[in-house]
RNA sequence: GGGGGCGUAGUUAAGCUGGUUAUAACGCCGGCCUGUCACGCCGGAGGCCGCGAGUUCGAGUCUCGUCGCUCCCGCCA
């Protein structure tokens, strides 16, 4: 039977059992981690927030509690009072920090019982994720999960302390706000008071933090939830946490320097890891050229080589037609992969087909010379240049993609990552940050037949590129920066348009008509016209940061109550249907989903 | 929206080319045990093989559909 405390006070925590408590009477409270019943004496590992202590029920000391202890099972919640004793010399457990001591129990109080568990409360994971999520409160009892959440707390504490010390104010912004075009799909909240109208949950506090700048709060930050109704991934949840920052009177270098300092500090503080300094900086165009991605994993030294220009003059149709039709021809030297069999090489194509790759050309470098089905189509000069640029040596496997850049680049980067990992497992304790800066301001969207903002529509162009806005908008670079660690985009930001005229010009480039801009962003345009200071900022993906720093494979492992890939919560069964009266209150009517 | 993987006892898994009573470990239940800490020993219970169709004399196994979890593409910064 579950009992109440009735005045009983906990005097110590499990981790505190040691030399200082020897011979003292202590009261501990916690969970039964395990029970070892020897018929006579019974041992319990008692677990609380701090650790584990062994408590002993001996019939010679307290027959009543010994009898009661027979009913204890895993995860019962108990309070025990007893005297701390040194363990006999041959019974010391050096694996436990408290292993030299134990508590000889006088009285036992069973505070609550526990049904047989769906999975054991142990550090190593063996239950499936669905089971763990359904019983998340049990999953979180496991030390490995608990440590990640503790680490997450230390991380946010370190961030707050860093920013507070530099004069930043943590200011809140609304969750119920308005839906704006561009960007991700919004989560909508119907307004009962305003029939037919909806709030949107913020994809980020972007506009509000800019308004803070205009309001004269020159350094803002917030550790805040953001919401995006898009499909999930291992590193993407529909609600996630950002470290959102904005500063006035700064340029891109200032924001980067501050962010770099912040990240270096928290890695030192939380993990005692010293990051390389300064972080390397890549132009977006350089990142794409050398790595085929805007978020390169710099733990992998391999780089791509570009042969597009040369490929115009070769007989090999696959190469030439790609080069002539606006595509690219690029190669990857997978050093040491010449040992791959023909089948192993053939099996690489399915790896990159998801990116749209239609083939994979290869040259195997062996002691007997180069082997490849494509060599006969390539003239000697071209081949020599290939080898030279790729640094080809015996033992290497050269891989090529000839396709549109949007296919060839990601395909080669994927090969770069997956082949390297096969040879050398990547260390989760090796952190390689890199800045990727000056992204294109706009990208062309063929479906909508217009340019859309690559970052967001408030990003400022590079001053030197402003003239191109009129002549060649696709070439305009933005004052933007992404911070990437180990192939994960950890954060991104930009300098914003603080001049109304420039912002209006960009809206019009985005084909957002003056009227629409006024309707949807009028409040921002108006605010910009009331003395907006130059400003910019950045938002860091807090969950991803916690994931990388804790070595977790998924963002879900650092979120207490995450959603599954279908965006449902297995614990609460959300989302759920609602009562017709609730819909009526909101003037909503459901229509059946399309088949 | 699309592609891949997985789904068998409470849990984690095995179950070959379709074949008789579906295995194991841990957990659970009962008994024994006064120095264990992965306690040990003896005994026992526990299954809609995700669900639904189909093929077959016969389906955990093959086919199709469907649901769930997961990884990826699209989407998302």
Indicate if A329 and A420 belong to the same structural domain. Answer: yes
In this prediction, residue A41 carries a pLDDT of: 96
User: Would you say residue A204 lies in a domain?
Assistant: no
CA distances from A451 to A224, A325, A437, A506 (A): 30, 22, 20, 10
Spacing of A427 CA from B13 C1' in Å = 29
In this prediction, residue A185 carries a pLDDT of: 95
In this prediction, residue A448 carries a pLDDT of: 76
User: Would you say residue A148 lies in a domain?
Assistant: no
Q: What sign does the CA torsion over A385, A386, A389, A394 have?
A: negative
Is strand B within 7 Å of residue A390 (CB)? no
Task: Report the pLDDT averaged over residues A306-313.
Answer: 93
- CB of A362 within 8 A of CB of A345? yes
For A285-303, the pLDDT digits (tens) are 999 999 999 999 999 999 9
Helix-, strand-, coil-residue percentages of chain A, each rounded to 5: 35, 25, 40
User: Would you say residue A99 lies in a domain?
Assistant: yes
- CB of A543 within 8 A of CB of A555? yes
For A342-361, the pLDDT digits (tens) are 989 999 999 999 999 999 99
Indicate if A370 and A397 belong to the same structural domain. Answer: yes
Task: Report the pLDDT averaged over residues A444-458.
Answer: 84
Domain C-terminal end among A531, A555, A571: A531
Task: Report the pLDDT averaged over residues A491-510.
Answer: 94
Domain C-terminal end among A71, A89, A112: A112
Protein-nucleic contacts, chain A 310-339 to strand B, CB < 7 Å = none
> For residues A106 and A63, what is the distance between their CA atoms, to the nearest angstrom?
9
> For residues A68 and A79, what is the distance between their CA atoms, to the nearest angstrom?
12
CA distances from A364 to A359, A399, A400 (A): 16, 9, 12
Nucleotides of B under 7 A from a protein CB: 1-3, 10-13, 26-29, 32-40, 68-77
Indicate if A104 and A23 belong to the same structural domain. Answer: yes
For A233-266, the pLDDT digits (tens) are 999 999 999 999 999 999 999 999 999 999 999 9
A200 contact partners, CB below 8 Å, separation of at least 6: A177, A178, A179, A180, A186, A187, A188, A189
User: Would you say residue A153 lies in a domain?
Assistant: no
User: Would you say residue A125 lies in a domain?
Assistant: no
Task: Report the pLDDT averaged over residues A268-292.
Answer: 97
Is strand B within 7 Å of residue A515 (CB)? no
Domain C-terminal end among A76, A91, A112: A112
Protein-nucleic contacts, chain A 421-480 to strand B, CB < 7 Å = 439, 454-456
Spacing of A590 CA from B7 C1' in Å = 33
Is strand B within 7 Å of residue A39 (CB)? yes
In this prediction, residue A180 carries a pLDDT of: 84
Spacing of A337 CA from B77 C1' in Å = 34
> Would you state the structure tokens that stand for residue A577, as one six-digit string?
């249907």
Taking chain A, what is the end-to-end CA distance rounded to the nearest angstrom? Answer: 53
Residue of least CA–C1' distance to B77? A455
Indicate if A307 and A405 belong to the same structural domain. Answer: yes
> For residues A421 and A404, what is the distance between their CA atoms, to the nearest angstrom?
26
Indicate if A304 and A421 belong to the same structural domain. Answer: yes
Indicate if A446 and A337 belong to the same structural domain. Answer: no
Protein-nucleic contacts, chain A 566-595 to strand B, CB < 7 Å = 566, 568, 570
> For residues A543 and A564, what is the distance between their CA atoms, to the nearest angstrom?
16
User: Is residue A417 pLDDT above 80, yes or no?
Assistant: yes
Backbone dihedral region for residue A352 (phi beyond 0: left; psi -120 to 50: alpha; all else: beta): alpha
For A154-200, the pLDDT digits (tens) are 999 999 999 999 999 999 999 999 998 888 999 999 999 999 999 99
For A540-557, the pLDDT digits (tens) are 999 999 999 999 999 999
Q: Report the candidate in A418, A390, A477 with the shortest Cα–Cα distance to residue A442.
A: A477
User: Would you say residue A208 lies in a domain?
Assistant: no
In this prediction, residue A496 carries a pLDDT of: 97
User: Would you say residue A403 lies in a domain?
Assistant: yes
Indicate if A337 and A446 belong to the same structural domain. Answer: no
For A63-109, the pLDDT digits (tens) are 999 999 999 999 999 999 999 999 999 999 999 999 999 999 999 99
Task: Report the pLDDT averaged over residues A108-124.
Answer: 93
For A465-490, the pLDDT digits (tens) are 999 999 999 999 999 999 999 999 99
A154 contact partners, CB below 8 Å, separation of at least 6: A269, A270
Query: Within a 10 A sphere around the Cβ of A357, how many other Cβ atoms?
Result: 22
User: Would you say residue A544 lies in a domain?
Assistant: no
Indicate if A409 and A308 belong to the same structural domain. Answer: yes
- Report the percent of chain A where pLDDT is more than 90: 89
What is the number of structural domains in chain A? Answer: 3
In this prediction, residue A125 carries a pLDDT of: 72
Please report which confidence band the pLDDT of residue A437 belongs to, taking 50, 70 and 90 as the band edges: very high
A337 contact partners, CB below 8 Å, separation of at least 6: A396, A397, A419, A423
User: Is residue A595 pLDDT above 60, yes or no?
Assistant: no
Containing H/E element for A319? helix A317-324
In this prediction, residue A594 carries a pLDDT of: 64
Is strand B within 7 Å of residue A351 (CB)? no
For A131-149, the pLDDT digits (tens) are 999 999 999 999 999 999 9
Q: In CATH, what number is assigned to the domain containing residue A349?
A: 3.30.1360.30
Instruction: Kindly report whether the peptide bond that precedes residue A577 is cis, defined as omega within 30 degrees of 0.
Output: no
In this prediction, residue A63 carries a pLDDT of: 95
Q: What sign does the CA torsion over A58, A59, A62, A66 have?
A: positive
- Report the percent of chain A where pLDDT is more than 70: 100
User: Is residue A269 pLDDT above 70, yes or no?
Assistant: yes
Is strand B within 7 Å of residue A54 (CB)? yes
Indicate if A412 and A354 belong to the same structural domain. Answer: yes
- Cα radius of gyration rounded to whole Å, chain A: 30
Indicate if A337 and A377 belong to the same structural domain. Answer: yes
Q: A43 forms bridges with which residues in the sheet?
A: A36, A56
Instruction: Kindly report whether the peptide bond that precedes residue A575 is cis, defined as omega within 30 degrees of 0.
Output: yes
Is strand B within 7 Å of residue A1 (CB)? no
DSSP for A136-186, written as a single string: HHHHTTSHHHHHHHHHHHHHHHHHHHHHHHTT-EE----SSB---SSSSPP
Q: In CATH, what number is assigned to the domain containing residue A56?
A: 2.40.50.140
- The mean predicted confidence, pLDDT, of chain A is 95
> For residues A90 and A107, what is the distance between their CA atoms, to the nearest angstrom?
26
Q: What sign does the CA torsion over A69, A75, A79, A83 have?
A: positive
Indicate if A332 and A391 belong to the same structural domain. Answer: yes
Q: Which domain holds residue A504?
A: 439-478+499-531
Containing H/E element for A249? none
Indicate if A382 and A468 belong to the same structural domain. Answer: no
Spacing of A573 CA from B29 C1' in Å = 32
């Amino acid at each position: 039977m579950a009992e109440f405390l009735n005045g009983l006070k906990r005097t110590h925590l499990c981790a505190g059992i040691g030399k200082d408590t020897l011979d003292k009477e202590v009261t501990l409270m916690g969970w039964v981690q395990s029970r070892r019943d020897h018929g006579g004496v019974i041992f319990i590992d008692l677990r609380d927030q701090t650790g584990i202590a062994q408590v002993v029920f001996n019939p010679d000391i307290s027959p009543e509690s010994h009898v009661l202890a027979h009913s204890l099972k895993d995860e019962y919640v108990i309070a025990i009072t007893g005297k701390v004793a040194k363990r006999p010399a041959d019974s010391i457990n050096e694996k436990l920090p408290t292993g030299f001591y134990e508590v000889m129990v006088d009285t036992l109080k069973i505070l609550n019982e526990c049904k047989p568990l769906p999975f054991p409360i142990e550090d190593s994971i063996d239950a499936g994720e669905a089971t763990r999520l359904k019983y998340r409160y049990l999953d979180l009892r496991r030390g490995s999960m608990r440590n990640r959440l503790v680490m997450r707390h230390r991380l946010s504490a370190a961030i707050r302390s860093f920013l507070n010390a530099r004069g930043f104010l943590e200011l809140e912004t609304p969750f119920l706000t308005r839906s704006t075009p561009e960007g991700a799909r919004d989560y909508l909240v119907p307004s009962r008071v305003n029939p037919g109208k909806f709030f949107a949950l913020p994809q980020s506090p972007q506009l509000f933090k800019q308004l803070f700048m205009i309001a004269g709060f020159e350094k803002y930050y917030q550790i805040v939830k953001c919401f995006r109704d898009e499909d999930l991934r291992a590193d993407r949840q529909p609600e996630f946490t950002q470290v959102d920052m904005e500063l006035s009177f700064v340029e891109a270098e200032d924001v980067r320097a501050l962010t770099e300092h912040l990240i270096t500090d928290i890695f030192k503080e939380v993990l005692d890891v010293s990051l390389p300094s300064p972080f390397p900086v890549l132009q977006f165009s350089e990142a794409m050229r050398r790595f085929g991605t805007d978020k390169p994993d710099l733990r992998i030294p391999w780089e791509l080589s570009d042969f597009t220009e040369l490929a115009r003059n070769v007989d090999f149709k696959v190469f030439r037609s790609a080069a002539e039709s606006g595509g690219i021809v690029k190669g990857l030297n997978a050093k040491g992969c010449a040992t791959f069999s023909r089948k192993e090489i053939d099996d690489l194509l399915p790896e990159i087909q998801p990116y749209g790759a239609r083939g994979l050309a290869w040259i195997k470098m062996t002691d007997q010379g180069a082997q490849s089905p494509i060599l006969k189509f390539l003239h000697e000069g071209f081949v020599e240049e290939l080898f030279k640029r790729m640094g080809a040596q015996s033992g290497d496997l050269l891989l090529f993609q000839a396709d549109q850049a949007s296919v060839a680049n990601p395909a080669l980067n994927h090969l770069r990552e997956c082949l390297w990992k096969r040879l050398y497992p990547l260390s989760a304790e090796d952190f390689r940050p890199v800045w990727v800066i000056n992204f294109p301001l706009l990208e062309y969207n063929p479906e909508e037949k217009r340019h859309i903002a690559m970052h967001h529509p408030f990003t400022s162009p590079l001053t030197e590129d402003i003239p191109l806005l009129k002549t060649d908008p696709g070439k305009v670079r933005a004052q933007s920066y992404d911070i990437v660690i180990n192939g994960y985009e950890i954060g991104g930001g930009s300098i914003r348009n603080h001049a109304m005229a420039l912002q209006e010009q960009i809206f019009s480039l985005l084909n957002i008509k003056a009227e629409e801009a006024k309707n949807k962003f009028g409040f921002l345009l108006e605010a910009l016209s009331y003395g907006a200071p130059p400003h910019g900022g950045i938002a860091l993906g807090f969950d991803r940061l916690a994931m990388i720093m804790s070595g977790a494979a998924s963002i879900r492992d650092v979120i207490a109550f995450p959603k599954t890939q279908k965006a449902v919560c297995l614990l609460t069964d959300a989302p759920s249907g609602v009562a017709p009266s609730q819909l009526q209150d909101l003037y909503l009517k459901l229509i059946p989903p399309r088949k």
